């Protein structure tokens, strides 16, 4: 799941929205958003969807790629 949060953090950094604006648009508490950005907190699926919508992102679930040697 860390990779998902890494991608979300990068998308937030790239966006033109301030963290305050993201908080207001999604209903995600600013403290929770700060913990996500610091890598010390996560989000529920509902909050992930709200954040993805605010950032105009699509969350896609797909099978993992097979690793070499497995």
Q: What string of pLDDT tens digits covers the 70 residues of the chain?
A: 578 899 999 999 999 999 999 999 999 999 999 999 999 999 999 999 999 999 999 998 889 888 776 6
Q: Which CATH architecture has domain 2-54?
A: Orthogonal Bundle (1.10)
Segments making up each domain of the chain, as ranges = 2-54
- Look at the chain and count its residues: 70
CA distance 62 to 10: 21
- What is the pTM for the complete model shown? 0.81
Cα dihedral 45/49/51/54 (nearest 10) = -170
């Amino acid at each position: 799941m860390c990779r998902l949060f890494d991608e979300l953090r990068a998308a937030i950094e790239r966006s033109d929205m301030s963290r305050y604006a993201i908080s207001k648009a999604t209903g995600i508490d600013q403290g929770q958003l700060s913990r996500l950005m610091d890598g010390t907190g996560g989000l529920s699926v509902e909050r992930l969807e709200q954040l993805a919508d605010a950032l105009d992102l699509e969350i896609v679930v797909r099978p993992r790629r097979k690793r070499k040697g497995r």
